[in-house]
Chain A
Amino acid sequence: MQVILEQLINGLTIGSFYALIALGYSMVYGVLKLINFAHGDLFTFGSYLGYTVLVFGAAFLTAHFGLWGAFVVATGVAALSIACVGVVMERIAYRPVYRAGRLPAVVSALGASIFLQNAIMVIWGPRFQAYPSEFIPDAKVMLGDIRISLLQVIILAMSFLLMGLLYFIVQKTTFGAAIRATAHDRKTASLMGININKVIFFVFTLGPALGALTGVMVGMYYRQISFTMGWNYGLKAFTASVLGGIGNIPGAMVGGLILGVLEMLGAAYISAAWKDVFVFVILILVLIFRPTGILGEKTAEKV
Chain B
Amino acid sequence: MHRRRPHCTHDAVLETVGLTKIFGGLTAVNAVDLKVHKGEILSLIGPNGAGKTTVFNVVTGIYRPEQGRVLFKGRDITGRKPHRIVSRGIARTFQNIRLFPDMTCLENVMAGQHCRGKAGLFTSVFKTPGQRREERRILEISERRLQQVNLWRVRDELAKNIAYGSQRMLEIARALASGPDLLVLDEPSSGLNPRETEDLMAFLKALIEDDDVTILLIEHDMNVVMGISDWVVVLDGGRKIAEGRPEDIYANQEVIEAYLGKDDGEEGHGSAA
Contacts and interface: CB of A to CB of B under 8 A. Distances in A.
Interface in A253-303: 300, 303
A300 B28 CA distance: 15
Interface in B201-218: none
Contacts of A300: 23
Range class of the B interface residue count: under 10
B131 interface: no
* Size bracket, chain A contacts: under 10
Contacts, number: 5
A300 B26 CA distance: 14
Nearest to B62: A303
Contacts of A303: 53, 57, 62, 94
A172 B94 CA distance: 39
B86 to A, nearest CB: 15
Contacts of B23: 300
A300 B57 CA distance: 13
Interface string A59-98: 0000000000000000000000000000000000000000
A303 B53 CA distance: 8
Interface string B142-173: 00000000000000000000000000000000
Interface in A164-185: none
A300 B54 CA distance: 13
Contacts of B62: 303
Nearest to B23: A300
A303 B58 CA distance: 11
Interface string B12-25: 00000000000100
Contacts of B94: 303
A299 to B, nearest CB: 13
A303 B82 CA distance: 13
A233 to B, nearest CB: 37
Contacts of B53: 303
A120 to B, nearest CB: 39
A303 B62 CA distance: 8
A303 B23 CA distance: 14
Contacts of B57: 303
Interface in B46-105: 53, 57, 62, 94
B63 to A, nearest CB: 8
Nearest to A301: B62
A300 B64 CA distance: 13
A103 to B, nearest CB: 13
A303 B63 CA distance: 10
A259 B94 CA distance: 42
Interface string B205-246: 000000000000000000000000000000000000000000
A91 B39 CA distance: 60
B272 to A, nearest CB: 22
Nearest to B186: A303
A43 B23 CA distance: 42
A300 B22 CA distance: 13
A288 B57 CA distance: 25
A300 B23 CA distance: 10
Nearest to A298: B24
Interface in A234-257: none
A100 to B, nearest CB: 14
Interface string A1-43: 0000000000000000000000000000000000000000000
Nearest to A300: B23
A27 B230 CA distance: 54
5 contacts: A300-B23, A303-B53, A303-B57, A303-B62, A303-B94
Among all A-B residue pairs, the 5 with the closest Cβ atoms = A303-B62, A303-B57, A303-B94, A303-B53, A300-B23
Interface of B: 23, 53, 57, 62, 94
Interface of A: 300, 303
